[in-house]
Amino acid sequence: MSDLILASASAVRARLLKDAGVHFDVRPAYVDEETIKESLLAAHAPLRDIADTLAELKALRVSASRPETLVLGADQILDFEGELISKCESLDDARVLLKRLRGKKHTLVSALVLARGGAPVWRNVDSAQLWMRDFSDSFLDDYLLTEGEELLSGVGCYRLEELGIQLFERIEGDYFTVLGLPLLPLLTALRQYEIIGP
């Protein structure tokens, strides 16, 4: 049994942690994200706070049943011109979204929360700005065909670490933030909590 639990079903987050040499168990936290988002949007919460709240709720959900273990909750939201964009449910939805984002800038906000004993003990919220290039419809067709439904796992319908990088002309911000796991501040926190060596 590990001293760290990842409260996420994200294969990308798990791979990043594993590749960084962090030992952990996976125990996804299931929360009603859409209801929580709707409630926070109705209260005019900043989009940044929505990512932070969801990450915290996931960490706390798992921490309640494993209070002795450090639990990592994570969430990422896409802010497009002040609108919260959620994950697409189909490739048709992905096509519509990517056409909206084409030639424009959007922001990814990635939030991490560590919890222990049913309470948050550390948090980090970071953002990155991404400018999509004005790609052709034929490129988009090929992209959707090549990537398939796997791209639906990410909020922006792209995987920057793969073919999705070709959608962009400019990115400002941390690469790991774009992938949904701001790794450098997290590793610093994991050293402080003696999950990894100093």
pLDDT tens figures, 78-135? 999 999 998 999 999 999 999 999 999 999 999 999 999 999 999 999 999 999 999 9
Average pLDDT estimate for 24-52:
94
Q: 76 forms bridges with which residues in the sheet?
A: 110
Mean pLDDT (the chain) is: 95
Q: How far is CA 76 from the centre of its chain?
A: 3
Average pLDDT estimate for 162-166:
93
Residues 123-155 have pLDDT tens digits of: 999 999 999 999 999 999 999 999 999 999 989
Structurally, how many domains does the chain consist of? 1
Show the domain range for 19.
Answer: 4-192
With respect to residue 197, please indicate whether it lies within any of the assigned structural domains: no
**Rounded CA separation 109/112 (Å):** 10
With respect to residue 198, please indicate whether it lies within any of the assigned structural domains: no
Q: Is the pLDDT of residue 51 over 90?
A: yes
Is 75 noted as a catalytic residue in this protein? yes
With respect to residue 63, please indicate whether it lies within any of the assigned structural domains: yes
Among 7, 9, 129, smallest CA distance to 69 is for 7
- Confidence (pLDDT) at 159: 87
Q: Is the pLDDT of residue 60 over 70?
A: yes
Q: Is the pLDDT of residue 2 over 90?
A: no
With respect to residue 44, please indicate whether it lies within any of the assigned structural domains: yes
β 25-26/4-6 pair status: parallel
Cα pseudo-dihedral 130, 8, 112, 53, rounded to 10: 100
**What CATH number has the domain bearing residue 19?**
3.90.950.10
Q: Is the pLDDT of residue 1 over 70?
A: no
Residues 175-190 have pLDDT tens digits of: 999 999 999 999 999 9
Average pLDDT estimate for 42-48:
94
b or e along 7-37 (b: 16 or more beta carbons within 10 Å of the residue's beta carbon)? bbebebbbebbeeeebebeebebebebeeeb
Neighbours of 98 (CB within 10 A): 21
Give me the catalytic one of 49, 52, 75, 79.
75
β 83-85/70-80 pair status: antiparallel
The encoded tokens of residue 26 equal 């996976």
